């Protein structure tokens, strides 16, 4: 077997048996990792590292965006669509401006979305709740309802 075939087999086995909910969690974690590494690239003045990981983070967020079930006109779906869309408009600018604020804001939102996903969808008990500081704080948001007091939908929001 060639190394490429071995890698393809490994990747297929790695994702096989994962539920769509677990795959979404993996996407969130991958986005967080790549956003952190893109910021390190900026801090280290390493444009290759910044660009490589920024591109991966953008691709992951685009995948999250396209996985939304747009046939469902649920308010939470519309909110996520707009949030992902805004991230996808702002993140490419970072490659030109090195704007760490945009990275930090995106990281904070994805971190909070991951936390909500883990606690509400996957029913994972958090060891430590994520901290969000500054204007990006989703004040008033609790884990069982959105900021308007609407309960979170029980069915999957994703295709």
Domains, the chain, with CATH or none: 19-136 (1.20.120.340)
Do 124 and 118 touch, CB atoms closer than 8 A?
Answer: yes
Q: Coil, strand or helix: which one is 151?
A: strand
Higher pLDDT, 117 or 130: 117
In sequence order, which ranges of the chain are alpha helices (DSSP H)? 3-15, 20-43, 47-66, 75-97, 100-116
Q: pTM of this prediction? A: 0.72
Provide the sign of the torsion angle of the four alpha carbons 93, 138, 134, 25, taken in this order. Answer: negative
Report the alpha-carbon angle 118-7-35, nearest 5: 40
pLDDT for the residue 131: 58
4-60: pLDDT as tens digits: 776 666 556 666 788 999 999 999 999 999 999 999 999 999 999 999 999 999 999
Closest C-alpha among 84, 83, 77, 82 to residue 155: 77
Higher pLDDT, 103 or 14: 103
| Average pLDDT of every residue of the chain | 81
């Amino acid at each position: 077997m060639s190394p490429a075939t071995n890698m393809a087999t490994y990747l297929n086995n790695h994702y096989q048996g994962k539920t769509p909910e677990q795959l979404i969690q993996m996407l969130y974690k991958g986005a967080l990792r790549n956003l952190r590494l893109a910021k390190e690239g900026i801090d280290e003045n390493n444009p290759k590292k910044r660009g490589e990981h920024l591109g991966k983070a953008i691709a992951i967020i685009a995948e999250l965006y396209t996985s939304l079930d747009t046939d469902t006109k649920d308010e939470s779906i519309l909110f996520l669509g707009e949030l992902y869309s805004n991230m996808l408009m702002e993140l490419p600018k970072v490659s030109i401006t090195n704007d760490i604020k945009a990275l930090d804001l995106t990281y904070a939102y994805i971190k909070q979305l991951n936390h909500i996903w883990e606690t509400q969808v996957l029913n994972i008990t958090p060891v430590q709740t994520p901290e969000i500081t500054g204007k990006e704080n989703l004040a008033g948001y609790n884990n069982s309802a959105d900021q308007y007091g609407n309960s979170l939908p029980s069915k999957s929001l994703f295709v």
